[in-house]
Structure 1
Amino acid sequence: MQDTSPEHPDYAIAIDIATRYLDEQSRPDEELYYFAYTIGIRNTGARAARLISRRWLIVDAIGFPREVVGEGVVGEQPHLRPGERFEYTSSTFFKTPYGTMEGAYTMRGDDGTEFEAPIPQFVLCIPRMLH
């Protein structure tokens, strides 16, 4: 996914996502299902930008939402020049065997321009749960 804002055509961020179920940490008998997700963030624009903050909407299988807002990612605020990529892994849990996440990164260009890089919705699911 790429975000090129009409107001800021020089800024574009591509995001890729990989997920996995953390069987060793999960306790289905207690309705706790843990998942890891790895996010790759690539600056596909013409100008450098720093990831300032993140906003997540996390929704379990019965529709219970949680919102997470914070500075940076995994304690960092990576600065990405055109063509550079930053990758990190984090985790979350659900009380159901699957759920979704989506959100946005707030980015700031070196010239002070702020823009949002949307994080597309993705599914976190125990293996063989969905087709």
Structure 2
Amino acid sequence: MDTQTTQGVQVTVTTNYLPDYSSPGQQHFVFAYKITIQNNSEFTVKLLRRYWQIFDSNGTVREVEGEGVVGQQPVLEPGDSHQYVSGCNLKTGIGKMLGNYTMERLVDGKQFTVNIPEFVLIVPYKLN
């Protein structure tokens, strides 16, 4: 589990390798990641955008950006949390992701960046 807090917004990530959706012989490795966003600030915030960098151990780097997360732009009151699951595919069994969210404080419209902690994606048998 990886956690990082920016301006009172805590982001926690857990990952899972999905062997049933992967084909190692075809260089296709699928991972799921679960993100929990906890608003520990004193302001109501809205998640506007996401930005990801996805690194594969073969040297490939991909960038993904867009509105919201999995089709939603959640609004979080102080103390609220939002959780979602998404996925990523790699051509190797080892990689990592990192990124950020663009958030908005609803009280004054101020936008700010919340960092997503860097996390590794690794096939369990690579750890042996």
Q: With the length of structure 2 as denominator, give the TM-score of the two structures.
A: 0.94
Deviation beyond 4 Å, 4+ runs, structure 1: none
User: How far is the alpha carbon of 1:129 from its aligned partner?
Assistant: 1.3
Residue 32 of structure 2 is aligned to residue 29 of structure 1? no
What is the identity percentage for the equivalent residue pairs of Structure 1 and Structure 2? 41
Q: Of residues 60, 67, 85 in structure 1, which corresponds to 2:63?
A: 67
Match of 1:116 in 2: 113
Q: With the length of structure 1 as denominator, give the TM-score of the two structures.
A: 0.92
Match of 2:93 in 1: 97
RMSD of aligned residue pairs (Cα, Å): 0.9
One-letter amino acid of the structure 1 residue matched with residue 60 of structure 2: F
Residue 37 of structure 2 is aligned to residue 41 of structure 1? yes
* Aligned counterparts of 2:123 and 2:13: Cα–Cα separation in 1: 16
Task: Give structure 2 stretches of 5+ with no counterpart.
Answer: none
- The count of corresponding residues between Structure 1 and Structure 2 is 124
* Aligned counterparts of 1:128 and 1:14: Cα–Cα separation in 2: 31
Residue 126 of structure 2 is aligned to residue 129 of structure 1? yes
Name the structure with the higher helix share.
Answer: 2
